[in-house]
């Protein structure tokens, strides 16, 4: 292919469905987009798009070409992220991704590392989306649950996030304190909105506790915590957070099966870089007494 620019233009037209949308993404005039499409179709001798009043729709030939274009664009993005990670040393962005519930444990250590390495700029990404290390979206991921199995990743055990079953005093004043595990089914609970959640403590509630009365559901752990504090029902918080919430009352002794395993995950292409190794060494040194 003589011109990647033309293929990339066609790819963006297919993604947006309009010339103007592709022009905005590429930062070019809409006439340039039309010229690229016309030139590419002329070179290949086939129509790549059906033009209609609402925009452009890829033909069968166009769909075949654009599938290859998407893969190539993804590979360029992946390569750019890895090259950037390889060349920065102890400076530039350090991108860490984790669940929001892990942040309170890890952020003080990250800040201490940044103070020792003032040329580092931290980006700490949280959320339900799984950031793709192979695309250079993060240098280090802290993930929970089963051992991650994505190819080309280096996975190391980090710690156990132990959980406590708690309720606010206002809830206990209203509903009474459970007398034991058998009494839990007579109480209201705060839990994740996803009934298929893999969180061990949530699974325990349903599988062992037989809990059916989930009075308050949410997708964000911070919202669940606020609901527990407000008295919506019994729920779980990380044990290390208990001291921050003196109004929360533990309901029973924490069980090992509630704990979630946490893993340090890096991509093989960035694992041995100076920045990643420096941060991992610092993190492990400051968490050596944490449960594994």
CATH number at residue 26: 1.10.10.10
pLDDT recorded at residue 79: 56
Which CA distances in Å does 40 have to 4, 9, 14, 36? 10, 10, 14, 6
Average pLDDT over residues 13-25: 85
Same-domain check for residues 207 and 250: yes
pLDDT of 217 higher than 80: yes
Domain range spanning residue 136?
88-161+260-287
Asked if 5 and 25 count as a contact pair (C-beta separation under 8 A), the reply is: no
50 pLDDT band (50/70/90 cuts)?
Answer: confident
The domain boundary, picked from 55, 85, 115, lies at: 85
Q: Are 95 and 138 in contact (CB under 8 A)?
A: yes
169 and 253 both lie in a single domain: yes
* Average pLDDT of the residues in 237-250: 92
99 & 208 share domain: no
The reply to whether 76 and 208 lie within a common domain is: no
Report phi then psi at 136, rounded to 5: 75, 20
Would you say residue 74 has pLDDT above 70?
no
Q: Specify whether 210 is located in the same domain as 66.
A: no
Give the β-pairing of 235-238 and 163-168.
Answer: antiparallel
Which has the minimum average pLDDT: 121-130, 136-145, 252-261?
121-130
How many domains would you assign to the chain?
Answer: 3
Cβ 271 vs Cβ 154: under 8 Å = yes
Dist CA 65 CA 13 (whole Å): 13
Residue 68 has pLDDT above 80, yes or no: no
User: Nearest to residue 154, comparing CAs of 261, 78, 263?
Assistant: 263
Same domain for 97 and 53, yes or no, is no
Distances in Å between the Cα of 68 and the Cα atoms of 35, 72, 78, 135 are 21, 6, 15, 17
Give this prediction's pTM. Answer: 0.65
With 90 as the cut, is the pLDDT of residue 283 above it? Answer: yes
Mean pLDDT (whole number) for 242-248: 92
Same domain (yes/no): 149, 223:
no
Instruction: Read off the DSSP letter of residue 134.
Output: G
Cα separation, 259 vs 256, in Å, equals 6
- β-pair type (248-250, 163-168): antiparallel
**Mean pLDDT of the chain, nearest integer:** 87
Residue 291 — left, alpha, or beta (φ > 0 → left; ψ -120 to 50 → alpha)? Answer: beta
Whether the per-residue pLDDT at 116 is higher than 90: the answer is yes
pLDDT at residue 78 in the model: 60
The pLDDT of residue 250 is above 70? yes
Residues 106 and 150 in one domain: yes
* Shared-domain flag, residues 94 and 226: no
Residue 184 is classified by DSSP as: G
Q: What would the mean pLDDT of 105-126 be, rounded to a whole number?
A: 95
Give the integer Cα–Cα distance in Å for 72 and 11.
10
213 or 79: which carries more pLDDT confidence? 213
Which pLDDT belongs to residue 70? 74
Does 196 fall in a domain? yes
In a shared domain, residues 157 and 271: yes
In the predicted model, is pLDDT for residue 234 greater than 90? yes
Residue with tokens 């599938």: 67
Which of 30, 56, 85 corresponds to the end of one domain? 85
Q: Which of 51, 85, 119 marks a domain boundary?
A: 85
Specify the pLDDT at position 19: 87
Q: Residue 169 falls within a domain, yes or no?
A: yes
Mark whether 130 and 170 lie in a shared domain.
no
Query: pLDDT higher for 216 or 65?
Result: 216
Average pLDDT over every residue of 241-251: 93
In this structure, is residue 50 part of a structural domain?
Answer: yes
Task: Take residue 167 and report the two structure tokens written for it.
Answer: 């309720």
Across 44-48, 68-72, 78-82, 252-256, least confident range? 78-82
pLDDT score of 1 more than 50: no
β-pair partners for 58: 49
Q: How far apart are CA 9 and CA 162, in angstroms?
A: 50
pLDDT category at 82 given cuts 50, 70, 90 is low
Domain co-membership, 39 together with 168: no
State the pLDDT confidence band at 84, using cuts at 50, 70 and 90. low
CATH of the domain at 174: 3.40.190.10
Which of 45-49, 70-74, 266-270 has the lowest average pLDDT?
70-74
Mean pLDDT score, 153-159: 95
Residue 292 falls within a domain, yes or no?
Answer: no
* 113/286 Cα distance (integer angstroms): 10
Establish if 186 belongs to a structural domain. yes
User: Do the bridges between strand 120-126 and strand 248-250 make them parallel or antiparallel, or are there none, so unpaired?
Assistant: unpaired
Which residue in this structure is represented by tokens 């070179």? 43
The arithmetic mean of pLDDT across residues 76-83, rounded, is 58
């Amino acid at each position: 292919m003589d011109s990647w620019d033309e293929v990339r233009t066609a790819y963006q037209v297919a993604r947006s469905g309009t010339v103007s949308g592709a022009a905005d993404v590429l930062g070019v005039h809409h006439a340039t987009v039309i010229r690229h499409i016309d030139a590419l179709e002329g070179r290949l001798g086939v129509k790549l798009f059906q033009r209609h009043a609402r925009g452009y729709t890829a033909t069968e030939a166009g769909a075949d070409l654009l599938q290859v274009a998407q893969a190539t664009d993804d590979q360029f993005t992946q390569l750019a992220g890895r090259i950037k990670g390889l060349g920065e040393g102890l400076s530039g962005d350090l991108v860490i991704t984790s669940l929001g519930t892990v942040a309170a444990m890890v952020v003080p250590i990250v800040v201490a590392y940044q103070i020792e390495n003032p040329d580092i700029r931290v980006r700490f990404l949280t959320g339900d989306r799984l950031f793709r290390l192979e695309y250079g979206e993060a240098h280090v991921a802290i993930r929970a649950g089963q051992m991650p199995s994505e190819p080309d990743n280096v996975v190391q055990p980090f710690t156990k996030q132990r959980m406590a079953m708690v309720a606010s005093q206002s809830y206990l004043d209203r509903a009474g304190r459970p007398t034991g595990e058998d009494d839990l089914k007579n109480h209201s609970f705060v839990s994740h909105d996803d009934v298929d959640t893999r969180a061990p403590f949530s699974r325990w509630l349903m599988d062992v506790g037989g809990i059916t009365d989930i009075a308050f559901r949410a997708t964000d752990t911070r919202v669940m915590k606020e609901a527990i504090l407000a008295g919506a029902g019994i729920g779980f918080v990380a044990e290390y957070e208990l001291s921050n919430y003196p109004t929360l009352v533990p309901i029973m002794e924490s069980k090992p099966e509630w704990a979630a395993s946490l893993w340090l995950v890096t991509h093989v292409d960035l694992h041995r870089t100076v920045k990643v190794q420096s941060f991992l060494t610092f993190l492990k040194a400051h968490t050596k007494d944490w449960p594994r």
